[in-house]
Amino acid sequence: MVDSHQHPEWLKPVFGRMRRRIAAFAILGNHDHWYDTALIRDELSAAGIQMLSNRWVELQVRGRPLVVIGCEYPWLRPMPDLSACPSEPFRLGLSHTPDNIAWARRQRIDLLLAGHVHGGQVRFPVLGSVFVPSQYGRRFDCGTFWEPPTLMHVSRGLGGEHPLRFRCRPEVTRLILRRG
């Protein structure tokens, strides 16, 4: 969310206008950790967004328990401690990077939402993404992936490290979860 020392100024005005029915959660990523993370967290909290950092919370959604887990690893450590986290409710994970998929699988996270790789930013017909900053290369560049027991959605997001995008449209994803 932050790429300069001026960016924290717009967090509260922009995110404070968002409406939510139940809750809003956020974690930080690789660009955020280069700046004042305490200030960024404070501004997002002031906008009504609950900062998960590397921890978990349990809440009720329509009378059913839901666990939301934040993972800012590897940029902000340590990994979340899930030793006291209930295992039965649906587990929703937020990870800045899809590189945390193996961890999510071990933790039995049901749905992991990730970004970071921006769909590769440059995509060619047939070839697909050209450069994806991930230990998995292009494997998880964007889209939805079933890695049992975890379903992972990787968004291309709105921004990117460079202002260039080619055949890789920015995206905001709306996911609707339904009980099976």
The whole-number average pLDDT for the span 18-40 is 89
Indicate the average pLDDT of the chain: 90
pLDDT on residue 122? 83
Locate tokens 């959605």: which residue?
153
- Indicate the residue type of 71: C
pLDDT one-digit tens code per residue, 97-121? 999 999 999 999 999 999 887 877 7
Query: Which residue ranges make up each domain of the chain?
Result: 1-51, 56-180
Q: Are 28 and 4 in contact (CB under 8 A)?
A: no
How far apart, in Å, do the first and last CA atoms of the chain sit?
34
pLDDT on residue 67? 97
pLDDT on residue 34? 86
- Indicate the residue type of 165: R
| Selected residue with higher pLDDT from 45 and 164 | 45
pTM as predicted? 0.90
Q: Which helix (H) or strand (E) holds 114?
A: strand 111-114
Distances (CA, A) of 115 to 6, 104, 122: 23, 15, 15
pLDDT on residue 160? 63
pLDDT one-digit tens code per residue, 22-32? 999 999 988 88
In this predicted structure, the answer to whether residue 163 has a pLDDT above a threshold of 80 is: no
Q: Are 15 and 49 in contact (CB under 8 A)?
A: yes
